[in-house]
Amino acid sequence: MRKPLIAGNWKMNLLNSKVPAYFTALNEVIKAVDRQKVDTLLAVPAPFLATARESAQAAGVWIATQTIHEKHEGAFTGEISIPMLKDLGINWTLIGHSERRQYFNETDATVAAKTKATLEAGIQAIVCVGETQAEREKGQMEGVLRRQMEAVLAVCTKDSNFTIAYEPVWAIGTGLTATDAQAEEAHAFIRSIVREKLGSLADRLRILYGGSVKSSNIQGLLAQPNVDGALIGGASLDPQEFGKTVSLAASR
Protein backbone atom coordinates (compact mmCIF):
# COMPACT_ATOMS: atom_id res chain seq x y z
CA MET A 1 0.00 0.00 0.00
CA ARG A 2 1.26 3.50 -0.82
CA LYS A 3 1.73 5.70 2.26
CA PRO A 4 -0.79 8.58 2.19
CA LEU A 5 0.46 12.15 1.83
CA ILE A 6 -1.69 14.93 3.26
CA ALA A 7 -0.53 18.20 1.72
CA GLY A 8 -1.85 21.67 2.48
CA ASN A 9 -1.69 24.72 0.21
CA TRP A 10 -2.01 28.06 1.94
CA LYS A 11 -2.11 29.92 -1.40
CA MET A 12 -1.76 33.71 -0.77
CA ASN A 13 -3.04 33.61 2.81
CA LEU A 14 -1.84 34.03 6.41
CA LEU A 15 1.17 36.08 7.58
CA ASN A 16 4.76 35.17 8.32
CA SER A 17 4.33 36.45 11.89
CA LYS A 18 1.54 33.90 12.47
CA VAL A 19 3.53 30.91 11.18
CA PRO A 20 5.17 29.75 14.47
CA ALA A 21 1.79 29.75 16.28
CA TYR A 22 0.22 27.77 13.41
CA PHE A 23 2.81 25.00 13.76
CA THR A 24 2.58 24.97 17.56
CA ALA A 25 -1.18 24.42 17.23
CA LEU A 26 -0.75 21.81 14.46
CA ASN A 27 1.87 19.93 16.48
CA GLU A 28 -0.54 19.72 19.43
CA VAL A 29 -3.05 17.90 17.21
CA ILE A 30 -0.66 15.59 15.35
CA LYS A 31 2.10 14.86 17.87
CA ALA A 32 0.65 11.44 18.68
CA VAL A 33 0.14 10.49 15.02
CA ASP A 34 2.20 7.51 13.82
CA ARG A 35 4.45 8.99 11.10
CA GLN A 36 4.93 5.56 9.57
CA LYS A 37 1.30 5.85 8.48
CA VAL A 38 1.12 9.32 6.92
CA ASP A 39 3.37 11.99 5.40
CA THR A 40 2.46 15.65 5.87
CA LEU A 41 3.42 18.74 3.87
CA LEU A 42 2.45 22.40 3.66
CA ALA A 43 3.00 24.59 0.58
CA VAL A 44 3.46 28.11 1.94
CA PRO A 45 3.96 31.54 0.35
CA ALA A 46 7.60 32.16 -0.60
CA PRO A 47 8.23 34.89 2.03
CA PHE A 48 7.35 32.36 4.78
CA LEU A 49 9.62 29.53 3.62
CA ALA A 50 12.46 30.05 6.10
CA THR A 51 10.16 30.62 9.08
CA ALA A 52 7.95 27.69 8.11
CA ARG A 53 10.88 25.31 7.69
CA GLU A 54 12.15 26.20 11.15
CA SER A 55 8.70 26.06 12.77
CA ALA A 56 7.63 22.83 11.04
CA GLN A 57 10.53 20.75 12.31
CA ALA A 58 8.97 19.78 15.65
CA ALA A 59 5.73 18.80 13.92
CA GLY A 60 7.61 16.69 11.33
CA VAL A 61 5.92 18.52 8.45
CA TRP A 62 7.68 19.00 5.10
CA ILE A 63 7.58 22.51 3.62
CA ALA A 64 7.05 23.22 -0.06
CA THR A 65 6.86 26.27 -2.25
CA GLN A 66 3.79 26.80 -4.43
CA THR A 67 5.67 27.15 -7.72
CA ILE A 68 9.24 27.33 -9.04
CA HIS A 69 10.89 28.64 -12.18
CA GLU A 70 12.55 26.12 -14.49
CA LYS A 71 15.68 28.24 -14.99
CA HIS A 72 18.34 28.28 -12.28
CA GLU A 73 18.97 32.04 -12.40
CA GLY A 74 18.49 35.11 -14.54
CA ALA A 75 16.27 38.05 -15.39
CA PHE A 76 12.91 36.59 -14.30
CA THR A 77 11.53 39.24 -11.95
CA GLY A 78 9.45 37.83 -9.11
CA GLU A 79 10.32 34.17 -9.70
CA ILE A 80 11.88 31.59 -7.36
CA SER A 81 14.64 29.23 -8.52
CA ILE A 82 15.46 25.68 -7.46
CA PRO A 83 18.93 26.70 -6.10
CA MET A 84 17.16 29.28 -3.90
CA LEU A 85 14.90 26.53 -2.54
CA LYS A 86 17.78 24.17 -1.92
CA ASP A 87 19.73 26.91 -0.16
CA LEU A 88 16.84 27.20 2.31
CA GLY A 89 16.74 23.41 2.79
CA ILE A 90 13.39 23.11 0.97
CA ASN A 91 12.97 19.98 -1.16
CA TRP A 92 9.35 20.17 -2.32
CA THR A 93 7.27 22.32 -4.68
CA LEU A 94 3.84 22.34 -6.25
CA ILE A 95 3.80 22.62 -10.05
CA GLY A 96 0.97 23.58 -12.39
CA HIS A 97 -1.73 24.28 -9.80
CA SER A 98 -4.90 25.21 -11.68
CA GLU A 99 -4.61 28.78 -10.37
CA ARG A 100 -1.13 28.98 -11.95
CA ARG A 101 -2.57 27.65 -15.20
CA GLN A 102 -5.61 29.96 -15.05
CA TYR A 103 -4.13 33.26 -13.82
CA PHE A 104 -0.43 33.00 -14.74
CA ASN A 105 -0.72 31.39 -18.16
CA GLU A 106 1.08 28.17 -17.28
CA THR A 107 0.66 25.68 -20.09
CA ASP A 108 1.30 21.94 -20.39
CA ALA A 109 4.69 22.89 -21.87
CA THR A 110 5.71 25.11 -18.92
CA VAL A 111 4.45 22.50 -16.44
CA ALA A 112 6.59 19.89 -18.24
CA ALA A 113 9.65 22.20 -18.24
CA LYS A 114 9.27 22.84 -14.50
CA THR A 115 8.79 19.13 -13.80
CA LYS A 116 11.91 18.30 -15.81
CA ALA A 117 13.91 20.91 -13.86
CA THR A 118 12.80 19.47 -10.49
CA LEU A 119 13.58 15.89 -11.54
CA GLU A 120 17.07 16.92 -12.68
CA ALA A 121 17.70 18.81 -9.44
CA GLY A 122 16.31 16.13 -7.10
CA ILE A 123 13.44 18.31 -5.86
CA GLN A 124 10.13 16.57 -5.14
CA ALA A 125 7.22 17.98 -7.15
CA ILE A 126 3.49 17.64 -6.70
CA VAL A 127 2.28 18.16 -10.26
CA CYS A 128 -1.37 19.22 -10.52
CA VAL A 129 -3.76 18.14 -13.26
CA GLY A 130 -7.53 18.38 -13.61
CA GLU A 131 -10.40 19.35 -15.86
CA THR A 132 -12.64 22.42 -15.66
CA GLN A 133 -16.40 22.21 -15.19
CA ALA A 134 -16.99 23.06 -18.87
CA GLU A 135 -14.57 20.32 -19.98
CA ARG A 136 -16.28 17.76 -17.73
CA GLU A 137 -19.73 18.76 -19.00
CA LYS A 138 -18.54 18.34 -22.59
CA GLY A 139 -17.31 14.83 -21.78
CA GLN A 140 -13.66 15.87 -22.17
CA MET A 141 -12.34 14.81 -18.75
CA GLU A 142 -10.31 11.88 -20.04
CA GLY A 143 -8.96 13.83 -23.01
CA VAL A 144 -7.80 16.70 -20.80
CA LEU A 145 -6.20 14.40 -18.23
CA ARG A 146 -4.47 12.41 -20.97
CA ARG A 147 -3.08 15.60 -22.56
CA GLN A 148 -1.87 17.01 -19.22
CA MET A 149 -0.39 13.68 -18.07
CA GLU A 150 1.35 12.92 -21.37
CA ALA A 151 3.11 16.31 -21.25
CA VAL A 152 4.44 15.51 -17.76
CA LEU A 153 5.31 11.87 -18.45
CA ALA A 154 7.28 12.86 -21.55
CA VAL A 155 9.98 14.30 -19.25
CA CYS A 156 9.95 11.35 -16.79
CA THR A 157 11.47 7.89 -16.68
CA LYS A 158 10.17 4.86 -14.80
CA ASP A 159 12.60 5.78 -11.98
CA SER A 160 11.38 9.37 -11.57
CA ASN A 161 10.22 10.50 -8.16
CA PHE A 162 7.25 12.83 -8.12
CA THR A 163 3.61 13.05 -7.05
CA ILE A 164 0.46 13.82 -9.02
CA ALA A 165 -2.48 15.78 -7.62
CA TYR A 166 -5.78 15.30 -9.42
CA GLU A 167 -7.71 18.52 -8.79
CA PRO A 168 -10.92 18.94 -10.76
CA VAL A 169 -11.03 22.72 -11.15
CA TRP A 170 -14.78 22.79 -10.43
CA ALA A 171 -14.12 21.41 -6.94
CA ILE A 172 -11.35 23.82 -5.89
CA GLY A 173 -12.45 26.37 -3.32
CA THR A 174 -16.09 25.85 -4.28
CA GLY A 175 -17.20 23.52 -1.49
CA LEU A 176 -18.01 20.96 -4.21
CA THR A 177 -16.11 17.71 -3.78
CA ALA A 178 -15.94 14.99 -6.37
CA THR A 179 -17.74 11.96 -5.01
CA ASP A 180 -15.48 9.17 -3.83
CA ALA A 181 -16.43 7.27 -6.99
CA GLN A 182 -15.67 10.24 -9.28
CA ALA A 183 -12.27 10.70 -7.64
CA GLU A 184 -11.50 6.98 -7.93
CA GLU A 185 -12.51 6.93 -11.59
CA ALA A 186 -10.18 9.82 -12.46
CA HIS A 187 -7.31 8.47 -10.34
CA ALA A 188 -7.59 5.00 -11.89
CA PHE A 189 -7.57 6.61 -15.33
CA ILE A 190 -4.45 8.67 -14.50
CA ARG A 191 -2.71 5.58 -13.14
CA SER A 192 -3.58 3.65 -16.30
CA ILE A 193 -1.89 6.35 -18.41
CA VAL A 194 1.22 6.15 -16.22
CA ARG A 195 1.24 2.35 -16.58
CA GLU A 196 0.84 2.61 -20.35
CA LYS A 197 3.76 5.06 -20.66
CA LEU A 198 6.12 4.12 -17.81
CA GLY A 199 5.08 0.67 -16.57
CA SER A 200 5.86 -0.08 -12.94
CA LEU A 201 6.14 3.58 -11.94
CA ALA A 202 2.33 3.40 -11.81
CA ASP A 203 2.49 1.08 -8.77
CA ARG A 204 4.49 3.45 -6.57
CA LEU A 205 3.22 6.84 -7.85
CA ARG A 206 1.18 8.71 -5.24
CA ILE A 207 -1.90 10.37 -6.72
CA LEU A 208 -3.47 12.92 -4.36
CA TYR A 209 -7.02 14.20 -4.66
CA GLY A 210 -7.67 17.94 -4.30
CA GLY A 211 -10.93 19.88 -4.22
CA SER A 212 -12.63 20.95 -0.97
CA VAL A 213 -11.09 18.13 1.08
CA LYS A 214 -11.53 18.36 4.86
CA SER A 215 -11.74 16.09 7.90
CA SER A 216 -15.35 15.15 7.12
CA ASN A 217 -14.60 13.67 3.68
CA ILE A 218 -10.99 12.45 3.87
CA GLN A 219 -11.83 8.93 5.01
CA GLY A 220 -14.18 8.17 2.13
CA LEU A 221 -11.63 9.45 -0.36
CA LEU A 222 -8.75 7.49 1.18
CA ALA A 223 -10.85 4.32 1.14
CA GLN A 224 -10.56 4.39 -2.67
CA PRO A 225 -7.76 2.12 -3.92
CA ASN A 226 -6.20 4.75 -6.20
CA VAL A 227 -6.44 7.77 -3.86
CA ASP A 228 -3.13 8.15 -2.01
CA GLY A 229 -3.71 11.37 -0.10
CA ALA A 230 -5.00 14.89 -0.54
CA LEU A 231 -3.99 18.40 -1.52
CA ILE A 232 -5.99 20.74 0.69
CA GLY A 233 -6.44 24.49 0.19
CA GLY A 234 -8.97 26.30 2.37
CA ALA A 235 -9.14 23.69 5.13
CA SER A 236 -5.35 23.75 5.62
CA LEU A 237 -5.51 27.32 6.94
CA ASP A 238 -6.90 26.09 10.26
CA PRO A 239 -4.26 24.01 12.10
CA GLN A 240 -6.88 22.11 14.16
CA GLU A 241 -8.87 21.11 11.08
CA PHE A 242 -5.75 20.24 9.06
CA GLY A 243 -4.31 18.27 11.98
CA LYS A 244 -7.57 16.35 12.36
CA THR A 245 -7.45 15.44 8.66
CA VAL A 246 -3.84 14.22 9.04
CA SER A 247 -4.83 12.13 12.10
CA LEU A 248 -7.75 10.54 10.25
CA ALA A 249 -5.51 9.74 7.26
CA ALA A 250 -3.10 7.92 9.59
CA SER A 251 -5.90 5.77 10.98
CA ARG A 252 -7.29 4.56 7.66
Q: Which of residues 61-100 bind ligand PEP (CB under 6 A)?
A: 97
Catalytic residue among 69, 70, 97, 99: 97
User: Is residue 234 part of the contact set for ligand PEP (CB under 6 A)?
Assistant: yes
80 vs 183 by CB, closer to ligand PEP: 183
Which region, judged by CB under 6 A, interacts with ligand PEP, from 48-56, 102-110, 183-191, 204-212? 204-212
User: 13-18: long-range contacts at Cβ-Cβ below 8 A with a sequence spacing of 24 or more?
Assistant: 13/45, 13/237, 14/44, 14/45, 14/48, 14/237, 16/47, 16/48, 16/51
User: Is residue 167 part of the contact set for ligand PEP (CB under 6 A)?
Assistant: yes
Largest interatomic CA distance in the chain: 47
The answer to whether residues 173 and 233 touch, using CB atoms and an 8 Å cutoff, is yes
234 vs 243 by CB, closer to ligand PEP: 234
Which region, judged by CB under 6 A, interacts with ligand PEP, from 17-25, 84-92, 119-127, 233-241? 233-241
List 4, 130, 168, 233, residue binding ligand PEP (CB under 6 A) = 233
List 112, 172, 190, 246, residue binding ligand PEP (CB under 6 A) = 172
**CB of residue 59 vs ligand PEP: minimum separation in angstroms?**
20
> What is the C-alpha separation between 153 and 194, in angstroms, rounded?
7
**CB of residue 19 vs ligand PEP: minimum separation in angstroms?**
18
Catalytic residue among 106, 167, 184, 241: 167
Active site residue 167: yes
Spell 220-245 as b/e; 16+ CB within 10 A means b.
ebbebebbbbbbbbbbbbbbebbbbb
Q: Which residue is nearest to ligand PEP (CB)?
A: 233
The answer to whether residues 123 and 93 touch, using CB atoms and an 8 Å cutoff, is yes
155 vs 218 by CB, closer to ligand PEP: 218
User: Is residue 231 part of the contact set for ligand PEP (CB under 6 A)?
Assistant: yes
Taking alpha carbons only, the member of 197, 126, 163, 158 closest to residue 3 is: 163
Spell 106-143 as b/e; 16+ CB within 10 A means b.
bebebbbbbbbbbbebebbbbbbbbbbeebbeeeebbe
The torsion angles phi and psi of 147, rounded to 5 degrees, stand at -60, -45
Active site residue 97: yes
**CB of residue 236 vs ligand PEP: minimum separation in angstroms?**
7
56 vs 172 by CB, closer to ligand PEP: 172
User: Is residue 232 part of the contact set for ligand PEP (CB under 6 A)?
Assistant: yes
Taking alpha carbons only, the member of 135, 78, 137, 139 closest to residue 102 is: 135
| Catalytic residue IDs | 97, 167
Which residues here bind ligand PEP, judged by CB under 6 A? 9, 11, 97, 167, 172-173, 210-213, 231-235
